[in-house]
Every structure is written in C-alpha cells, then in structure tokens.
Amino acid sequence: MHPLRRPLVATAAVVFACAGVAGAAEVKPLDQSDTKAAPTGLSEPAVPRRANILIVITDDQRQGLNVMPAVRKYFTEQGRTYPSAFVTTPVCCPSRASIMTGQYAHNHHVQSNIPGVTLDEFVQRDTIQKRLHSDGYTTAYYGKFLNGWALTKDPNYFDTYALADVGDNSSDTRYYNTPFAVRNEGEVGQHEEIAEGYVTDYLGDEAVDFIDSHRNTPWLMILAPTAPHSPYTPESIYRDAWVGQWPGNEGVWEEDRSDKPPYVQAQDAQLSKGQYIRARQLRTLMSVDDVVERIFSTLRRIGESQDTLALYISDNGYMWGEHGLIAKDVPYTPAVKVRMLARWPAAIPAGSVDRRLVSNIDIAPTALAAAGLDPTGMDGRNLLDVSWARRRILLEHWCNVRACNLWAATRTKGHQYVEYYNADGRTTFREFYDLRRDPWQLRNLLYDGDSVNDPDWRPLAEQLAADRSCAGVSCP
C-alpha cells in the first residue's frame, strides 16, 4: 500500500544518515595514499559462499534518500554507506556496462548512449551475468538495459528478463504503459509486452515474483527502474507529494564562469529549473522506495534476507543548475558523485561507513566475491576486502546523444584535474580544482587569471594519460 504522503527528512539528517550514526563501524584504511594499503584492523565477519545478488540501478539519481525511508532502513541503517562513491563515465549506457563488467569504459567499449555506435560491443564482453550464470546462478534483469536494445536482440546470460523500450526523453511511455522485450524462464525467444499502468509498479511485480519463485537457489537480479530520469513523471499517488523547496547552492549561484570551458559558459540554467527537476525526480523515487520495501519484505518472508547481498547505485548524478548546467555528462561533482549503498547482514555490519574512493566498477568484483568466484582481471575492486584504498579515480567521457564533449579527469579526495580534447586527441582546455577549499568547483586555478596559484599540471597530465589506457591491476 502506498502512503499518500511521506515525511521529508531534513537535509542535515540525510547527510548524517549517509555519514553513519554515532558509534557506527567505519572502513577506513590506514594508508589512503596507496591502492595496496595496510590492513585496517577491522575484522569483517566471515563471508558465506554463494549469496543471492541483488543490484538496484536507478537512473540519474543525484539525491533522494530523504524521501526513501525503506532505502534508508535497509541500506543505511542495516547496511553500509559509501560517501565517496563516483561513476567513472556519467552517462547511462557506459555506466551500466561498467557495473556489469567491472571495467572502465575504455575497456568495455560502450562509450556512449548512441544506438548502433558502441552498444554492439557489449554483448561479447565478460559480465557478472555470464560468470554467475555459468556457475549455476539463475539470472534476471528487469528495467532499463542499454539504449537501442531492440526486440528480438538477446542480451545473453539472463534466464529471464523484461527490458524497457524507453523511447525518447520526453515520451510518457518511459513511465506509463511502457513496452518491454520479455523472456520468461524456460521460454525460447522473447515477446513484446506492454506494462499496463505505472512502470515502477510493474518492475516491482516482476522482481517479487522472481524472488518468490527461486527460493533456496542462488540468483542474480538486476533491477533498473526508469526513475528518476526525464520526463520525471511521478506515479499519480505521489504527483503532488511535498518534497520541500530546494534553496540551491553555491554552484547554482556562480556568477562568473569565465574560468570554465566554452560549452559551460554558453549555458545559463536557472535555479527555478533545477528546483522543478529536483521535485519531480524525488517524487518518482518514492515509487522506487515502495518497490524496495516489497523486495525486502519478500526476502524476509521467505527467510533469505540474511543470504542476499544487495547493492544500490545510480548510473550517474545530475546537475540542477550548477555552473548553469542541466546535464549529467560533465565532470563536475553533482554529475559524477552518486549514492552507493550495500547490505548483507551475513558479512556487512549494520550502520557501517566505508570512506574509501569507490565507484561503479567495484560492483561486479564485489558480486563475484560474494558468490565465491575470483574477480581477478577486472578494473574494479572487491568492496568486501577492506585492505585496499585508492589514491585517485579515473573519470572519462566521449560522445553522447546531446554533444561530443571529449574529456577525462583524475579525481582524488583533495583535487580534480580535467582535460578536454578535440577529435584528434589534442588537449584544448584544462581545469584544476582544490576540492578542500573549493568543493563546488567555482575556481579553476588554471584559468582564474592568477598564475601564482597555478598547480604543476604536467605530472597530472602524464598520470591521466597512463590511466586512460589502464587495465586490471594497473587501473586506479
């Protein structure tokens, strides 16, 4: 049953929940400067073999836990929060491919959302669904897969699936009466099915039925709702739900963008547009929260709550007017930083916080480790292993449907260095931000007119060039 209204938790309370409650265990490596850090001393519970794997991937979610009491209960209170989580390419398809492969996009080659350009590369790649399916897991995918995935095209290694044909960004069929390519377990081939009513409810029905039908057998289920992607259409019961008035932030109020690249200077989104998008996004997430409640209620009812590793992440963040941008395919914090959560009562202490730099490429190796499989060879790392820590993370972007902004960036906890490239690979613009003094990235130290504060970008450029071709253990 849907609550007609749910209380909006104050922003400060959400930050507190994501930072962990007083006394919560923290995963904090002793040496943050090396990817092979000394052991933390934190004694993790023994990891049981062959857990069920649930991965929830929302679409363009920047915030929203304040209107998601079920997600807060099951993940932040009963699981683990990752306050320094990033996606390596802030675009839907590359990010989803990274979640399923544990690889940076320069290795799995799904580098855009443009149908027919790079999506065909993905089907032959090594994925968690392939590895787990081969190891006896029953596998399922419900929701948005990769753009342009046509009916009759098999995504491979899923025993059952319902892949949404989401249409264009303004289409109402993204949320109501959505067409799906469906294959039920045991069937040969697939068929088209129209999900009558609200799409998130349909996905919830499919997810609960799948869990109920696979008791006592290991399974992988990826649940990928459309929410909160445009056109941000809330379920009718939440259409007017109160979500508070967002006051904006320093990034939205930035007046001088002369230190930013030309494409940023050309934008001029206002606070009111960001407020409109935020409100509608949060209302769509209320329905996602209802599905999360249904899933965990089902797991508890059939006695598999303790045996299920659940991971929650968005494929990217979203700009609500910061630097004049309404976008996601940019290197700025609101677009690349995401909510990332994990729950596994058998192996993850309740209310714990992992402050390491983590990302979407860490999902796949973690899932494999929970299944008792070796994740060696992936670019990401097993989140259940607390002995490592990253110095930096690589961010990268190619072309997208909207525009070709070729860029790559190195991000640490203290700074972010960005390079933009032309079609020939020549660097055309650079950005450097001191994140401790300038968390909203208001002052690009390389173009602020003050040469005294310019950092030495040459070693950063050299490291970034190496990272852009990394693979496996050589990756940050």
User: For the ranges 20-29, 194-203, 347-356, 419-428, which has the lowest average pLDDT?
Assistant: 20-29
User: Do residues 420 and 325 both lie within one domain?
Assistant: no
Lowest mean pLDDT among 185-189, 267-271, 411-415: 185-189
| Assessment of whether the complete model's pTM goes beyond 0.85 | yes
Question: What's the burial of 105, exposed, middle or buried (CB within 10 Å: 0-12/13-18/19+)?
Answer: buried
Residue at which a domain ends, from 346, 379, 412? 379
Give the pLDDT band (50/70/90) at residue 32: very low
Q: How far apart are CA 30 and CA 32, in angstroms?
A: 6
Separation between Cα atoms, residue 158 and residue 59, nearest integer Å: 21
> Average pLDDT over the chain, rounded to whole?
88
pLDDT in tens, 271-302: 999 999 999 999 999 999 999 999 999 999 99
Claim to verify: residue 106 and residue 200 sit in the same structural domain: yes
Distances (CA, A) of 48 to 44, 52, 273, 308, 349: 12, 11, 47, 10, 14
Percent of the chain scoring above 90 in pLDDT: 77
What digits encode the pLDDT tens for the residues 362-392? 999 999 999 999 998 999 999 999 999 999 9
Any idea what the CATH number is for the domain that residue 298 is in?
A: 3.40.720.10
Q: Does some domain include residue 389?
A: no
- Say if CB 397 and CB 331 are below 8 A apart: yes
pLDDT at residue 231, as a whole number: 94
- Tell me the angle at which helices 199-212 and 271-301 cross, rounded to the nearest 10 degrees: 20
Token digits for 355? 């402050």
Which residue range is the domain that position 454 belongs to? 398-474
Residue 23 maps to a domain: no
Assess whether 87 and 143 both reside in one domain: yes
CATH of the domain at 426: 3.30.1120
Quick one: angle between helices 92-101 and 363-370, nearest 10?
A: 30
State whether 373 and 404 are in the same domain. Answer: no
385 found inside a domain: no
